[in-house]
Amino acid sequence: MRDVMLRLADDWEAAKAELVTLGGAAVGPLIAELADEESPVQWSSIGVVLREIGRPAFAPLAEALAAAPTPEVKRRYGWAFMGFGVALLDDYIGALAHPSARVREDAALGIQYCRERAAPAVPALAGLLDDPDAEVRQRVIWALGEIGAAAIPALQQVRREGPGRRRAAALRALAGIGGFEAFSAADRAAVERLVRVKLIDERIEGEEPHGRWLALPTGDQAAVLEALGLSSPRPATMRLGRAVAGAASHGSVPEEWRRAVVFVSPQLDDWTLVFGHWADDDREHDAIRSLSARFGRAQAYWYDDQTGSSGWTIAGGGVVIRHYSDAGDACSGERLPIEREKPTFADLEELPADQWPDDDNDVCDGLAVAAAMSISPSELGPETLVRGTGVLALTEAGRDLGGCPAGAFPI
């Protein structure tokens, strides 16, 4: 048997066919080889063979997963186990009742990969919304999210009828599937009440943004909404608004949703910030010129909190004064005072590495420019004067799509 397995490296198709034909007789040796971290056979090749053997391999692999001796072996077993596909959906449903949390979690993952075809698994998954293992609970929520709309009635039933210990997880799952629109009227009202309560004594905290924002020197939120063509404003805390706008603009949501919603902040000192895709890329310069003519000044920024790269466009009186981007766009206008004090990333590319600043704070990026020219999202705090309430609002794209992207977000 091992001779055949060793041939997987050199004669893949023939060796795989022979092992699959052996079926159940090959499962034990394959699982043992999969656990051998010194095996010359690629472990993923063994996993593929077990998946193709199918049902005879399912239960033995589940038991091996439950008893895996090392994290690496557990990872290998789990990879093989989660890939049987919709043909073994009933087996996965049965495995959700396994005493091993790892088996339950990977069974839910196998169901998740079946996506909408896994709708028959919804009742069993809903029964694990109160699983004692937190990772199982989270995986169940994700699996229900991939199943999609077919899971909504069962989740709404949990919200209505309980048991109570499953209700919070059911709400998160509903948010992941359909967002606010998937909630019942009672749940919508409850979330809106919670937002209002949080807004009463909201603590404004700075954090590095990821994505785009606009700064306008005004506290007239209605004028900002009108100028940007936004609609359906819904009160939101800073935490909620920035999370929704951030997820919409750069998260794992489908591309068509990325320009659906923005967050318009309350007045922060003398400025209003708009987070998200407030204008199409090819219209941003025209839009910021128009906004600066209306509000006197307008500033657009983008910042990547993973790489530190950024860009800015500063306009006043209907004219773009300065445009800079680390992304290689053509720069225009004279350097800003802050750019004469600190080198930009473009400047660093012209310098040998031993002349680079030791401290990132000595580099001119979008956060430094915002702090000098308006207000930086990373420097908000208790000393920031806050007037009014922030709102989530739909763009034209959001109106066409019928709302905000789905997701469970912090309030």
Q: Give 247-299 pLDDT, tens digit per residue.
A: 766 655 666 677 888 999 999 999 999 999 898 877 888 999 999 999 999 99
* Level-2 CATH architecture, domain 2-189: Alpha Horseshoe (1.25)
Peptide bond into 163 cis (omega under 30): yes
Query: How deeply is 305 buried, as exposed, middle or buried, from its count of CB atoms within 10 A (0-12, 13-18, 19+)?
Result: middle
Residue 333 contacts residue 318 (beta carbons within 8 Å):
no
Asked whether 200 and 235 are in contact (CB, 8 A), the reply is no
Cα separation, 100 vs 87, in Å, equals 23
**Cβ–Cβ < 8 Å for 159, 167:** yes
Poorest-pLDDT segment among 225-229, 348-352, 367-371? 348-352
pLDDT at 405 over 70: no
Amino acid (one-letter) located at 400: D
8 A C-beta contact, residue 354 and residue 232: no
| Percentage, residues of the chain above pLDDT 90 | 56
Chain-wide mean pLDDT for the chain?
Answer: 88
Note the pLDDT of residue 7: 73
Domain ranges in the chain are 2-189, 204-401
- For the chain, state the CA radius of gyration: 27
Q: What is the pLDDT of residue 189?
A: 82
Read off the pLDDT of residues 66-114 as tens digits, 9 standing for 90 and up: 999 999 999 999 999 999 999 999 999 999 999 999 999 999 999 999 9
